[in-house]
Amino acid sequence: MSKKTLNMASMRDNVERWMIHEGLSFDDVKTPENAFHMVVKHGGKFGIPIEIFEPKSQPGILVVGAKIVMKNNHIARYLGFSGDEKARFEKKIADFCYSIQAVHKIITEDGKQKIGVYVVLDGKEPITQQSVFDAIDRVSDMHEKTSRFLLKTF
């Protein structure tokens, strides 16, 4: 087994062990772009689904995130936007996410518009059980703040 494979497997094993140790249930998700991808069913203080994954294109990087599903009336409105209106909306989201120090992405998944908010653990500091659970708590807070922001501004 190569060192790269061993490192990817050990990161996944560590994260899985930490989730089990904390009594959190999770599901594995198969994706071609990630070395591993799991969804914690009830993470952080708001008990939301939290995704934890290691992108294949960035070994040693751990991403912790959550997705805010836009309400049906918001989706209909967003899809009806002109190019300029979409750009203004996306800039509002980008500015807000920057203000709460969230990496973000607007995506379409399962026929729904979603806003993903993420914390990236890049290995500059050791990725430990504490750093992962701190990231889960931050993502939970960012999810809640972004949900409220969407309801107020959209």
CATH at 99: 3.30.1460.10
Full domain range(s) for residue 43 = 3-153
Nearest CA among 57, 52, 67, 56 for reference residue 127: 52
As for how many domains the chain has, the answer is: 1
The mean pLDDT value for 46-54 works out to 95
pLDDT tens by residue, 118-153: 999 987 888 999 999 999 999 999 999 999 999 888
Give bridge partners of residue 103 from the DSSP assignment.
Answer: 118
* Residue 120 confidence (pLDDT): 95
Which amino acid appears at position 73 of this protein?
N
Nearest CA among 77, 78, 89, 30 for reference residue 56: 30
* Residue 77 confidence (pLDDT): 85
The mean pLDDT value for 2-15 works out to 63
Which amino acid appears at position 44 of this protein?
G
* Residue 38 confidence (pLDDT): 96
